[in-house]
């Protein structure tokens, strides 16, 4: 349904590195979709790497950036074929976003029913209901505020003035993934 998300979360990484996953959200180059497309739907926003970057910036200002990071991690998780990698990613998602010990815990109903023993029987849709809750939280809460935010309005103004909305990097998502995850 959605384009490429997170490259590799199977290895334990510092939070700052995990937070860089938004650059892999879509296949289009930053700015291709534009603010007009972002304002149509959250789905469109999440398909555009620059839209994800701006949305993350907004969520960070609201202290809820972990929501989009969790959603992106789940998108990547669902596409994982290798069973061992699936287990590793399940453990990473659990420890990063669902464990009561996590500093980036998302607030979803049902996470208390998950436990570490379940992670050994990982399957691609095991986080689907939790991911859907976070998506709906973002869609019906954060997204509308994002569209009214200074962050979105400044990007829209730049675009209206014929300036590029992107962060300035012309690298492909694959190249950025290679730089971040293969070091």
Rounded Cα–Cα distance for residues 26 and 43 (Å) = 11
Residue 112 lies inside a defined structural domain of this protein = yes
Whether residue 25 contacts residue 47, with contact meaning beta carbons closer than 8 Å, is answered with yes
Residue 7 lies inside a defined structural domain of this protein = no
Residue 56 lies inside a defined structural domain of this protein = yes
Residue 51 lies inside a defined structural domain of this protein = yes
Q: Could you give the residue ranges of the DSSP H alpha helices within 1-48?
A: 15-18, 34-38, 42-47
Residue 5 lies inside a defined structural domain of this protein = no
User: Residue 156 belongs to what domain range?
Assistant: 15-181
> Residue 78 has which token pair?
């669902």
Residue 90 lies inside a defined structural domain of this protein = yes
Angle at 113 between CA 43 and CA 85, to 5 degrees: 60
pLDDT tens readout for residues 95-111: 999 988 899 999 988 76
Band of the pLDDT at 151, cuts 50, 70, 90? very high
Angle at 89 between CA 91 and CA 48, to 5 degrees: 130
Residue 113 lies inside a defined structural domain of this protein = yes
- Residues above pLDDT 70, as percent of the chain: 70
Number of structural domains the chain divides into: 1
CA end-to-end distance (rounded Å), the chain: 30
Band of the pLDDT at 24, cuts 50, 70, 90? very low
Question: Per-residue pLDDT for 12 more than 60?
Answer: no
Which of 37-41, 106-110, 113-117, 124-128 has the lowest average pLDDT?
113-117
Residue 3 lies inside a defined structural domain of this protein = no
Whichever domain contains 59, its CATH number is 1.10.167.10
Question: Per-residue pLDDT for 182 more than 90?
Answer: no
> Residue 62 has which token pair?
């609201």
Helix axes 49-61, 150-160, angle to 10 degrees: 150
Decide: pTM greater than 0.85: no
Whether residue 143 contacts residue 45, with contact meaning beta carbons closer than 8 Å, is answered with yes
Question: Per-residue pLDDT for 10 more than 50?
Answer: no
């Amino acid at each position: 349904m959605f384009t490429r998300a997170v490259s590799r979360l199977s290895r334990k990484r510092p939070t700052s590195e995990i937070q860089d996953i938004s650059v892999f959200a879509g296949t289009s180059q930053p700015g291709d979709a534009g603010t007009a497309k972002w304002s149509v739907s959250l789905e469109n926003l999440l398909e555009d790497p620059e839209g994800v970057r701006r949305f993350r910036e907004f969520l960070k200002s609201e202290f809820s950036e972990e929501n989009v990071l969790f959603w992106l991690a789940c998108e990547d998780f669902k596409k994982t074929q290798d069973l061992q990698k699936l287990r590793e990613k399940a453990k990473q998602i659990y420890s990063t976003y669902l464990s009561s010990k996590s500093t980036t815990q998302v607030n979803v109903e049902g996470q208390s029913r998950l436990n570490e023993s379940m992670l050994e029987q990982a399957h691609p849709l095991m986080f689907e209901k939790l991911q859907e809750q976070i998506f709906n939280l973002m869609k019906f809460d954060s997204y509308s505020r994002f569209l009214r935010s200074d962050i979105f309005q400044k990007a829209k103004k730049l675009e209206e003035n014929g300036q590029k909305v992107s962060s300035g990097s012309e690298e492909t998502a694959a190249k950025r993934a290679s730089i971040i995850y293969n070091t």
